[in-house]
Amino acid sequence: AASTTPDAGWHTVREPASGLAIDLPGAWQSRVGLLGRRRVLGVLIESPEPKWFDSSAPGWNRLEVKPGVDSAVLQVDLDPPSPPADLAAVANDKWSKLANVTLLDTHPDLRIGGLEGFGVTQGLKGAGIGAGGIRIGESIKADVLQTQMWLRGAGHSVHLILIVPREAAALREAMERAAGTLRF
């Protein structure tokens, strides 16, 4: 179980309505926002960009954390609208394959702070939308790793994303440590 008191030099970001909390190093910049979600003709549509808040007032559903290294981000989405059914759905996702996202590892039995779920680690270098020689937009040039986790517990679900440059092992370890404090 995760501690309820952050380590020295760390602080807690909390969404008061749900009780979601995560501890982060004090030097990392974070912001919270609200992704709009509405149904149009029975189809759930999520806004592409959140409305960002200055504080962690209740009602946010996205936390974005920047640890100060280019290409690195930690993102938490609270109660995402369409989480994948299981690990196989993520590992065999046709859109990831089309975008040239490389599956590096699977995490079938994750447990973090009373939450349970699964995840994957993916390589994003060269990823971009396209098939054959036809590309839409640019490919990702940086050699970055992405770990995605889908977790459930306490009546909520969470989608956690960690993106870090491949060579930044210490930063990856710090981001994983922060992710390990996630709790309700």
Is the CA virtual torsion 85, 90, 92, 93 positive or negative?
Answer: positive
Quick one: pLDDT at residue 107? 97
Q: What is the pLDDT at residue 142?
A: 77
Is the C-alpha dihedral spanning 171, 176, 181, 182 positive or negative? positive
Distance CA 17, CA 98 (A): 38
d(Cα 168, Cα 67) in Å, to the nearest integer?
12
59-70: buried (b, 16+ CB within 10 Å) or exposed (e) per residue? ebbbbbbebeee
The structure's pTM equals 0.86
Whole-number pLDDT of residue 141: 73
The share of the chain scoring above pLDDT 70, in percent, equals 90
| β strands within the chain, DSSP E | 10-15, 20-25, 29-34, 37-40, 43-46, 51-53, 62-66, 73-78, 102-112, 115-123, 129-131, 134-136, 144-153, 156-165
The predicted-structure confidence for 91-126, as pLDDT tens digits, reads as follows 999 988 888 899 999 999 999 999 999 999 999 887
What 3-state class would DSSP assign to 81? coil
Cα–Cα distance, 136 to 167 (Å, whole number): 28
- Strand 43-46 with 37-40, pairing: antiparallel
- The neighbour count for residue 30, using CB atoms within 10 Å, is 16
